[in-house]
Structure 1
Amino acid sequence: MCGICGAVGERRGKGGDAVAAMLDAMTHRGPDSRGAAVADGVALGACRLAVIGPEAASQPLRSACTDLTLVVNGEIYNHVELRRELEARGHRFTTGGDCEVILHLYEDEGLDALKRLRGMFALALLDPAERRLLLARDRMGEKPLYLAETPDGWCFASEMTALLRSGLVPLEIDHGSLREYLHYQYVPEPATLLAGVRQLPAGSWLDLDLDTGKSRTGVYWDLEAAPALPGDPAAVLEAGLRDIGRIVVRSDAPIAVALSGGLDSTIVASLAAANAPGVTAVGVGYAGRPAIDERRHATRAAAALGVRLTHVELSPADVAEDFDALVQALDHPVADLAGPAYHAVAKAAHDEGCRVLLLGHGGDELFWGYRWVHTARAALAGHDPARVTRGLLYRHMEVVRDSARLLPGLCSPDWPHRLPDDDGSGPGSGPDTGTTLPVRLTRLLADTYLRSNGVAQTERLCMAHSVETRLPLLDHRFVDLVTGLRKHARDDALPAKDRLRAAAAPLIPGFVAGKPKTPFYTPTRDWHAALFAAHGDRVADGWLRSAGVLSPAGAVRAARGRTGVGSGTSLSYKALMFETWYAALRAAHRPPGGGAPRGGPAENGSPKNATTDHGQKTG
C-alpha cells in the first residue's frame, strides 16, 4: 500500500520538484519509505506503507533487464501464484513484495498483464524502450488515481490534495460536479469537484506516448461482460467466498476486521478468522447506547467466531471535535454521516497496531440490499436495459429526490441547480454485453454509490491513519460469479441478500444468517446538531454564498442546519463539508507559477470562470 504520483513533460526540474511536494502531502499513505525516479521528462514517486515484503520492496521498482520503472498503490492478492509461474518461466525476483510480479508480467504479456492481476491497485509503469507511460486502475476502483493535464504535460497522484500541492494544477471548482455533489452527497467518478481534474475510470488504462504527448485509453474489465453461469447459486458463491478468503488475508503485518454483527461484516470476519488466526475485530458504538447501537450484535458474533473484539464509542461532541480531521482525511468530499464511524474504526485499527482492515462493503450493492433499488427495478421493468442510466435509477432514491425538492429554496435564482433531464432515450452505453436489467442496475450502483461514496470514503479515512483497506466482497472473480449467476437466473425478486445469505450459511453463526437485514445507522440528528452548533457559521458567509451558489437567505438557513435532516444527509451537511474542504484546499494549494493561493471566489471557480460541466448522462 502506497501513495503514488508523477509528472510528465515538465521542464527545468519542475517534475522532480512537483513529485517531492506531492509525496510530502501523502506521508500518511506511506510512512515507511519514499522514493522517486526522474528520466526522459517523466518523474515518478511513491511513499510506502509496508504490508507485504516489508524489508526490500521500496518503490519505485525497476527491472534490470528492460529498464521498466513501476510505482503501485495497492496489493496484488495472487502474487504468490504469479511469482511461482514467472519464476518457472525464468524470471528472477529481487524483492519479497507483491508488486514486483507486475514488472515481469508486463515484460511477457504487455497490457494483457492487467487481466492477470487479482487485487486492488493503481499503477504507473514507465517503458522507455516503447516511449510510453502506462497508468491503470483496479476493476472495482478500490484504489484512487487522480489525473490532470498541465501546460507542459500531465500529472497524477493518489490524492487530490497532493495534486494541488504540486504547483502544476489550478484550483477551480467545476459547477456541474458541484451540482451533482449537492444532489448525491458525492461526485460520481470519473468527475471531481475540480475543473481539469478527473479520476482514471475503474477497470481501465491510459497509455501516454512520451514523444507526441497523445494518449489512448482502454477498458480491460466490465462488470456486465461476465457470461451466464449455470449452477446452484449458494454452492457457487460459497466456493467464491472461500477462495477470496484464502488470499485476501495475505500480509506480513497485523490484520483487523470491522465487525458490526451484521451479515456482510460477519462473513468477512469469518473468512479472516478461518485464514488468519489472531485477527482483531474492531467496531463502533454510540454514547448512551441508543437502539441503533450494534455493540451487542458484534460482541455475540465475535464470541461465536473466536476473535478478540474492541470497540470505540462516539459521542456528538467527539464528532464535532473531529470534523476538520475527518474532512481533511477524506481528501474529496463525501457527505455521508456514516463517515465519523468509519473514521473512528480506522483509528481503532491503527491503535491496535494493525496495518490492514477488512470491511464488508459491497454486499448491499451486489445483492439487492436497498429497498429503493427494488422500487427502481419494478419501475424500470419495461425499459431496454442498455438504455437505463444513472438518472433513471436515482430518481427513485429518496435522498436525491429530497435534494432536488429543497435546492430551489436555497440556491441563487441564476445558479443551475437542476440535474440535466435524463429519460433514458439516448444511445446505449457501449457494446452489447448481453446485459439484463438486474445486471445493469448492479453496474450502475457499483459505478456510483458503491465506488464514489462507500469505497472512496473508507479508503481515504483508513489511509489517513496508515491503514490499508481490503474489501473481499469486491474481489472481481466473486463479482463475476454474481453477475454470471444473475444472467442465468434472475434474483431481483428474491428477499434482500437472499443468495448471499444462503452462500454464507455454512460459514457464519446461525443467528447472524437468520437475522433480518438492518441498515447501518448512526445517531444522525444528535451528530447533526452538534456539528452545526460548532461549525455552522462556516456556511453563512462561505464560498457557496459568495460564488452565487446559495442565496443569502439560503446560506443562513443552511448554516442553521435546517434543511431536512432525517436518516439521510442534509443539504446543510453537504454545504458544511464543502466549505470546510474548500478552505483547507485553498490553504494547501500551490498555484502554477508559485506564490500564495489567490483569494476571492471570482478567481477560484465562480460561475463566470467555470465552464466545465459534468452533468451529462451516463449509462
Structure 2
Amino acid sequence: MCGIAGYISATHQHELQTIVQKMQDSLYHRGPDGAGSWKTSNSKLMFAMRRLAIIDIDNGHQPFINENKDLILVANGEIYNFIELREKLIQRGHVFKSKSDCEVILHLYEEKGIDCLHDLRGMFAFALFDARKGIAYLARDRMGEKPLYIFQDKEEIIFSSELKSLLKSGKIPLLLDEKAIYWYFHYGYVPDPLSPIRNIRKLPAGSVLSININDWKITEKKWWNIEDAPAIDGNPALKIREVLNEISQLVVRSDVPVGIALSGGLDSSLVAALIAKESPGSLTAFSVGYEGRPPCDERDDARFLAKHLNIPFQEVELNEDEMSANFLKLASYRDDPIADIASWGYYQVMLAAKQNDISVMYQGQGADELFWGYPWLKETAKENHLRLKKFNTSPISNDEIDTIYPYFMDKFPFFHDGNKIPYTSRFKNKIKELGASADPREPYKIKFPWENIDIMTTKMICDTYLRQNGIAQSDRLSMASSVELRLPLIDYRLVETAIGLRKTQSDLNLPPKAWLREAVQDLLPQTVMNRPKKGFSPPTHSWQKQLFKTWGHLLEDGLLTQHGILNSEGAKDLAKGEQPLNSVIPASFKALILETWLRAMTKELT
C-alpha cells in the first residue's frame, strides 16, 4: 500500500525533480516506511512513491525495474492473487527481486503488455513506463478502490494518489470546477470523473490511460465494465458462498497484524467470520460508540459477535467536543469534499488500529449496493421497471427515454434538503450562477433501449455513491493514519457473481440481501442474521449543531463567497446551520464541508 505521483511531459522539464519531490513529500502519510523515485535522462518523465510495507517488508521497495532497465513501475495497492501469479511466472523463467505482491505486475506486463490488467485481482492504481516504446501507462482497478487524480494540459500530465498532492506541485491553480461544485450540492460528493478543481479529473475505475512521450499521443480506454460480467446459472447462495470462501483465502495475506472495523450489522460480521475462520488468532476487532450510548451505538452488538468468534475486542468512544475540535483537520484528511457526518468515526477507528500497531484493516462495505440493502435503491429499480412497461404500451418523452433514473434522486435520501425541493430551485438565490445548467441527472442518463434495469441500477450506485462517498472516504481516512483498508465484499469476482446471476434470475422482489444471507447463514448466529439494519450513523442532529456552533461563522464571507460559489446573503443564511425536518445531509452542512475543504486545499498552495 502506497502513494504514487509523477510528471510526464512532451518536453524537457528543468524543475522536474523539485516538482515531483513536493508531491512525494505530501504523500508521506500514505507510506511512512520508505520512498523511491525514477526519472528519464531527458527529464521528460519522473515517477515517485511512498511505501507502507505490508508484503515483503524488507525487500518490497519501489520503483520496480526489470533486468533490462526498460520497464519501470510504481504501484499503490494490493494484488491479492500475487502468489498464484508469481508461481506461474517463475515456471516460465521470470526472476523476481522480491516477494512483493506488486512486482508481479511488471513481469506480467513483459508477457502480455497492458492486457496484464485482466490477470490482476485486488485493489490498485499504478504507473508503468515502457522505455522501449516510449509509452507510459496509468491504470486503476476495476471498482476504483485506489484513487488516481490527473492534471492534463497540452504538453504535460501530472498525476497523484491525492488531490492535495497535485496542488503541492505548484503547477496547478486552485480554480473550482463549477459543474463539479454544482453536482456536489446535489450529491454531497463529486462523482467520477470530475474533481472539485478545474483541469483535474479522476481516472475512471477500470480504465487505463496511455501516453506516448515521443509523439504525445494520448488514449484512454475502459478495460473492465461491471455490466459485462458473464451470465451465471445455478443456486445463487452456493455460487456466492463459493466466491466468498475464495476471497477470504486471498485477502488474509499480510506480513503485519490485521484488524476489522466491526459494527453490529450483517456485512462486517460476515467479513469478520470469514477472516477469523481462514486465519484464526490473527484478527482484532475495533468498534466505535458514542457518549451516553444512544440507539445508534452498536458496541454491545459488536462485542457479542467478537466474543462468539473469539476475537480480541477494542472499543472507541467518540467524543462530540473532540470531533468538533478536529473538524478542520478532518477536511484535509478527506482530500475530496465528502459531506458525510460519519467521517469522524471512520477516521477514529483507523487511528485506534494504528495505535495498536495494526496496519491492515477490513471493512464490510459494498454489500448494501450489491444486494439491495437500501430500500430506496429497490424502489428505484421497481419504478423503472414500471416505466419500461409503460414505454412498451404508450409513447413517453425523449427525456424519459434518455434518463433511466429520474426517480433515483427522488428516492435517494441525500439529494434533497428535507422539503423534497431540488437544490436547483431552492438555493438559486444562495448559490451564484456557476454552470447550473449542467443536468445533475447526467450520471444516470442511459440511452434507450435499456438492457437489464436491475444490473444498471447496481452499476449506477456503485459508480456514484459507493465509490465516491464510501470507498473514497474509507481510503483517505484509513491512509491518514497509515493503515491499509481492505474491502472483501467489493472483490470483482463477487461483483461479477452478483451481476452474472441477475442475468439469469432476479432477486429484486426478494427480501434485502436474500442471496447473501442464505450464502452465509451457517457462519453467524441468528441474532446477527435477523438484526435490523442500523447503518453506520452517529447522533447526527447533535453533532451538526455542535459543528455550526463552533465553525458556522467560517461561511460568512468565507472562501466560497470569495470564489463566487455563494453570495453573501446565502452564506450568512447557511451559516445558521439549519437542519430541515427529515433532512439527511442539509445544504448548510454540505456548504460547511465544502468551505473547510477549500480552506484545507488553499493551505496546500503555501
Is the shorter-chain TM-score for this pair beyond 0.5, marking a shared fold?
yes
- Structure 1 pair 366–412 and aligned structure 2 pair: CA distance change class (3 A): closer
- Structure 1 pair 279–567 and aligned structure 2 pair: CA distance change class (3 A): farther
- Structure 1 pair 574–50 and aligned structure 2 pair: CA distance change class (3 A): same
Superposed, which structure 2 residues align to 1:513-592 within 5 Å? 513-564=529-580, 566=582, 568-589=584-605
- Structure 1 pair 155–424 and aligned structure 2 pair: CA distance change class (3 A): closer
- SS at 1:44 equivalent: strand
Deviates more, 1:373-382 or 1:112-121: 373-382
1:345 to 339, 344, 349: 349
Counterpart CA distance in 1 for 2:232 and 2:53 is 38
Deviates more, 1:306-315 or 1:550-559: 550-559
Q: Deviation per CA, 1:509-534, whole angstroms, max 9, x where unpaired?
A: 22211223332221001110111111
> Aligned AA for 2:576?
R
> Aligned AA for 1:97?
S
Retained in 2: the 8 A contact 1:257–1:272?
A: no
Q: CA deviation at 1:424?
A: 10
- SS at 1:256 equivalent: strand
Residues 1:2 and 2:5 aligned together: no
Residue 616 of structure 1 aligns with which residue? none
Residue 49 of structure 2 aligns with which residue? 46
Counterpart CA distance in 2 for 1:565 and 1:463 is 35
Retained in 2: the 8 A contact 1:435–1:487?
A: no
Retained in 1: the 8 A contact 2:384–2:405?
A: no
Retained in 2: the 8 A contact 1:287–1:313?
A: yes
Superposed, which structure 2 residues align to 1:466-481 within 5 Å? 466-481=482-497
- Structure 1 pair 217–151 and aligned structure 2 pair: CA distance change class (3 A): closer
Superposed, which structure 2 residues align to 1:401-480 within 5 Å? 401-402=416-417, 404-405=422-423, 407-408=426-427, 411-412=430-431, 414-415=433-434, 417=436, 420=439, 422=441, 428=447, 435-480=451-496
- Structure 1 pair 125–414 and aligned structure 2 pair: CA distance change class (3 A): closer
**How many equivalent pairs are there?**
587
- SS at 2:28 equivalent: coil
Retained in 2: the 8 A contact 1:259–1:283?
A: yes
Q: Deviation per CA, 1:247-286, whole angstroms, max 9, x where unpaired?
A: 1110001111010020000011111111223211111000
Retained in 2: the 8 A contact 1:377–1:437?
A: yes
Residue 327 of structure 1 aligns with which residue? 331
Retained in 2: the 8 A contact 1:411–1:417?
A: no
Superposed, which structure 2 residues align to 1:102-501 within 5 Å? 102-150=105-153, 152-277=155-280, 278-383=282-387, 388-389=403-404, 392-402=407-417, 404-405=422-423, 407-408=426-427, 411-412=430-431, 414-415=433-434, 417=436, 420=439, 422=441, 428=447, 435-501=451-517
> Aligned AA for 2:483?
V
Counterpart CA distance in 2 for 1:509 and 1:425 is 39
Retained in 2: the 8 A contact 1:179–1:418?
A: no
Retained in 2: the 8 A contact 1:7–1:15?
A: yes
Counterpart CA distance in 1 for 2:352 and 2:437 is 40
Counterpart CA distance in 2 for 1:62 and 1:202 is 26
- Structure 1 pair 543–493 and aligned structure 2 pair: CA distance change class (3 A): same
Counterpart CA distance in 1 for 2:580 and 2:445 is 34
Residue 600 of structure 1 aligns with which residue? none
Counterpart CA distance in 1 for 2:402 and 2:276 is 43
Counterpart CA distance in 1 for 2:573 and 2:566 is 10
The Cα RMSD (Å) is 2.1
Residue 601 of structure 1 aligns with which residue? none
Counterpart CA distance in 1 for 2:330 and 2:318 is 14
- Structure 1 pair 303–503 and aligned structure 2 pair: CA distance change class (3 A): same
Normalised TM-score (structure 2): 0.93
Residue 19 of structure 1 aligns with which residue? 20
Retained in 2: the 8 A contact 1:408–1:417?
A: no
Residue 602 of structure 1 aligns with which residue? none
- Structure 1 pair 412–461 and aligned structure 2 pair: CA distance change class (3 A): closer
Retained in 1: the 8 A contact 2:136–2:212?
A: yes
Counterpart CA distance in 2 for 1:543 and 1:566 is 29
Counterpart CA distance in 1 for 2:263 and 2:410 is 30
Q: CA deviation at 1:412?
A: 4.3
- SS at 2:272 equivalent: helix
Q: CA deviation at 1:64?
A: 1.1
Deviates more, 1:574-583 or 1:558-567: 558-567
Q: Deviation per CA, 1:526-563, whole angstroms, max 9, x where unpaired?
A: 11011111111111111222344323232112111014
* Gap runs ≥5 in structure 2: 390-400
Q: Deviation per CA, 1:342-383, whole angstroms, max 9, x where unpaired?
A: 111111111111111100010100011111112211221145
- SS at 1:401 equivalent: coil
Retained in 2: the 8 A contact 1:525–1:566?
A: no
> Aligned AA for 1:397?
F
Counterpart CA distance in 2 for 1:517 and 1:74 is 31
Counterpart CA distance in 1 for 2:191 and 2:269 is 29
Deviates more, 1:187-196 or 1:434-443: 434-443
Normalised TM-score (structure 1): 0.91
